[in-house]
Amino acid sequence: MRYPKEVVLKNKKEAVIRPLETEDESKLRSFYAAIPEKDRWYIRYDVTNPLVIKKWIDAIGTGTIYAIVAVVNEKIVAHASLHMREFGSTQHVGRLRIMVMPEFRHQRLGTWMLLDLIQLAMDKGLNDLRADFVVGVEDAAIDAAYKLDFFKSAVLKEYVKSPRGIRYDLQIMIKRLHRSYGDF
Ligand SMILES: CC(C)(COP(=O)(O)OP(=O)(O)OC[C@H]1O[C@@H](n2cnc3c(N)ncnc32)[C@H](O)[C@@H]1OP(=O)(O)O)[C@@H](O)C(=O)NCCC(=O)NCCS
């Protein structure tokens, strides 16, 4: 992948996609501080905890997490990552996560970033990608996943709870990665 990569959003604004760097720690903290709590709740990690952000920064170059960010006017406006395992029965499966700042949603930014991570997963030789979504909360992400050829693999009924204790289904979606024609 050639970075930095300039992309033009639907509103004609430009964003730069590039790998997350060690110097981004405070920018990444500010990014997550600006994400509404209702979106943060469903992330597996407490992104308001500086140690969580530090862990992601420390993971740069370790080969287990590969993260990219989108930057506009020096500010991070989206963060996406591919998480890989080094050992065991699921090391052929990568997991994806993405967060786009609300003002920058529906501008194709999420699609650009996910396409990059899907390509990277293929380059790494992974067979499958997995992403979990909360039905009724992350429906936009579910739609985006279908467009990227993910399929519904399982639903864990009433598995997650909202801050107010309302239960929602968790939908596990998988995308099979095929080697490109160039490999044959
Ligand atoms: C889901 C998310 C990453 C999408 O990013 P985005 O940059 O807004 O997405 P895009 O503009 O590339 O849109 C891609 C597709 O997503 C779907 N989508 C995006 N926003 C949508 C909405 N509000 N309602 C329904 N579908 C929506 C559409 O299918 C869209 O394709 P289209 O533009 O051809 O209609 C973003 O909304 C987000 O960060 N949400 C909160 C966090 C989250 O849900 N993360 C996913 C958990 S891994």
Q: What is the pTM of this model?
A: 0.92
Residue 2 confidence class, pLDDT cut points 50, 70, 90? confident
Q: What pLDDT was estimated at residue 172? A: 98
pLDDT digits (tens, 9 = 90+) for 3-37: 999 999 999 999 999 999 999 999 999 999 999 99
Q: What pLDDT was estimated at residue 182? A: 53
Q: Report the distance separating Cα 126 and Cα 118, nearest Å.
A: 10
Among protein residues, the one whose CA lies closest to atom 30 of ligand 1: 144
Kindly list the distances between the CA atom of residue 118 and the CA atoms of 115, 129, 164, 173, in Å, as whole numbers in the listed order. Answer: 5, 8, 34, 14
Distance 111 CA to ligand 1 centre (A): 8
Q: Is the pLDDT of residue 85 over 90?
A: yes
Among protein residues, the one whose CA lies closest to atom 4 of ligand 1: 110
pLDDT digits (tens, 9 = 90+) for 113-153: 999 999 999 999 999 999 999 999 999 999 999 999 999 99
CATH topology of domain 5-129: Aminopeptidase (3.40.630)
How many Cβ atoms are within 10 Å of 121's Cβ, its own excluded?
A: 22
* Domains of the chain, residue spans: 5-129
For residue 127, what are its two tokens? 């067979």
Region 161-174: mean pLDDT is 96
Among protein residues, the one whose CA lies closest to atom 10 of ligand 1: 108
Residue 122's SS3 state is helix
Across all residues in the chain, what is the average pLDDT?
93
Pocket of ligand 1, candidates 105, 116, 129: which has the most ligand atoms within 8 Å of its Cβ, to mutate?
A: 105
Give the number of residues written for the chain.
184
Q: Is the pLDDT of residue 180 over 70?
A: no
Ligand 1 neighbour 97 (Cβ under 6 A): yes
For residue 71, what are its two tokens? 């930057």
Residue 45 confidence class, pLDDT cut points 50, 70, 90? confident
Q: Which value, in Å, is the radius of gyration of the alpha carbons in the chain?
A: 16
Name the residue among 95, 69, 100, 63 with its Cα closest to residue 82: 95
Q: What pLDDT was estimated at residue 111? A: 94
What whole-number percentage of the chain has pLDDT above 90? 89
Helical segments of the chain, H only = 25-33, 37-40, 50-58, 109-123, 139-147
Ligand 1 neighbour 99 (Cβ under 6 A): yes
C-alpha dihedral, 6 to 9 to 12 to 13, nearest 10°:
-60
Q: Which residue has the tokens 């991570």?
A: 117
Name the residue among 50, 35, 101, 49 with its Cα closest to residue 71: 101
Q: Do residues 152 and 173 touch, judged by C-beta distance below 8 A?
A: yes
Q: What pLDDT was estimated at residue 42? A: 87
